[in-house]
Amino acid sequence: MDEKKIEILIHLISHCTTSGHYPEVIMEGGARAFLKYPRLFASCLSKYRGWRSIVYLLSYFLENEDPGLRRLTSILGNTNFECELKGQLAFLNSIRK
């Protein structure tokens, strides 16, 4: 998967709540891409102002994957955005337990 495909997927996810066209399929695909290519996905995600809402939508699918959220937080790097993203993932994980 390349950067352009992930950018398109993120764009689709950002419109899932308003489009009404099978949002769970798009978000599940986004969660799988995030798990498979976490650093590339984070890099593309950092370009979106509303990235927190995208992560919130994906987190429902990420928590069902094993190891899911734990794996993502261990793989993501230490850039400012990745640290902020790890914090958001940890927060979402904590409120769902």
Q: Is 90 exceeded by the pLDDT of residue 71?
A: no
Q: Is 90 exceeded by the pLDDT of residue 13?
A: no
The pTM (predicted TM-score) of the whole model is 0.85
pLDDT tens sequence across 28-60: 889 889 999 999 999 999 999 889 999 988 888
Buried b (16+ CB within 10 A) or exposed e, 68-88: bbeebbeebeeeeebeebbee
Q: Which distant-in-sequence residues (6+ apart) come within 8 Å of 3 by Cβ? A: 40, 43, 44
Q: Is 90 exceeded by the pLDDT of residue 62?
A: no
pLDDT value, residue 5: 93
